[in-house]
Amino acid sequence: MADLRTLKVQYLEHLEIEKNRSPKTLENYGRYLDRFLNFAKIKNAEDLDDERIRQYRLHLNRLTDKNGKPLMKTTQNYHVIALRNFLKYLAKRGVKSVSAEKIELGRAEDRHVTFLEHTELDRLLNAPDGSGLNALRDRAMLRMLFSTGMRVSELCSMDRNKIDVKRGELSVLGKGRKIRLVFLSDDAKDYIAQYLTKRTDVDEALFIRIPKSGKFGKDSDLRLTPRSIQRIVQKYAIKAGIMGKHVSPHTLRHSYATDLLRNGADIRSVQAMLGHSSVTTTQIYTHVTDTQLREIHKKFHDKK
């Protein structure tokens, strides 16, 4: 008999070794599968059946957090995808269980994309002022986020020796451990150069926390975390007077994609620059950039 928890561990090892998945992916898959196993309360793969999976999906749909909010449909689908991929792995191993092909994803709700208009973007990018290292870092960070469309995790992992300011392009290791090329605007290059010139520490990270004393220790781990960068972006959004929008590093990524599409970039190119594995993901931006629909409405609606 095949023990499911042992098989789960072997599956995560398979993702790590054969599939070269990131530690974050392993963490997420482990958490999703643990939730299923804790619900199913079965030990052997052979005991899994369609009805138990149906009950699990009902359980996911009815789950709420501490504030009483249900799991988003997208999050529910992540759980189902993890289970489905686990079952595919079992089938390849010759372990009898439910066929993965019998499990369909639920229809996810349309994603709401928050992006900044040009006036809001200008105010945000120019919000850091002064000539201190903090201000130079923050100006460079905001410009780089908007110039490249990088995810906050990608920005955090960037080392300064990977930046060629003169060339204005760099390779990014993104989701699925896929490498893509991103590009720096002229002002991003200028601000990054100013920031790096003023740094006196030896830390390899591109963006670092700066001690209040201004003095750097030799062995300090100064790399900023995603949460630190989120707080910095939110601070400047408040300073820029951007109201009614939750502004985060991902908002700048959304703004980057929206700006490209509004200015005529084709969706396949935007897909490549964002590092999306499927163009379907990139299509969430098209509903906010479809000026043709507005023109049709203006031309044909409410004609006297």
Distance in angstroms (rounded) separating the CA atoms of residues 201 and 219: 10
104 Cβ neighbours under 8 A, 6+ residues apart: none
What whole-number distance in Å separates Cα of residue 159 and Cα of residue 239?
28
Yes or no: say if 83 and 53 are a contact pair by the CB < 8 Å rule. Answer: yes
Let me know if 151 is a catalytic residue.
yes
Which of 222, 196, 227 lies closest to 210 in space, CA to CA? 222
- Residue 116 near residue 242, CB atoms below 8 Å: yes
Q: Within 10 A of 212 (CB to CB), how many other CB atoms are there?
A: 7
Beta bridge partners of residue 181, listed in sequence order: 171
CB 102 within 8 A of CB 233: no
301 is catalytic: no
Nearest alpha carbon to residue 167 among 138, 188, 146, 136: 188
Tell me which of 11, 32, 191, 285 is the catalytic residue: 285
Which of these is catalytic: 79, 143, 250, 254? Answer: 250
Establish how many alpha carbons lie within 13 A of residue 237's alpha carbon, considering only the half-sphere containing its beta carbon: 20
Is there a catalytic annotation at residue 66?
no
Q: Is 254 considered catalytic here?
A: no
> Catalytic one among 160, 175, 199, 223?
175
Question: Which member of 151, 189, 195, 236 is catalytic?
Answer: 151
Active-site residue, from 139, 189, 253, 254: 253
CA of 156: how far to CAs of 69, 152, 159, 231, 258, in Å?
30, 6, 8, 13, 23
250 noted as active-site residue: yes
Q: How far apart are CA 145 and CA 125, in angstroms?
A: 10
Q: How far apart are CA 102 and CA 121, in angstroms?
A: 46
Catalytic residues: 151, 175, 250, 253, 276, 285
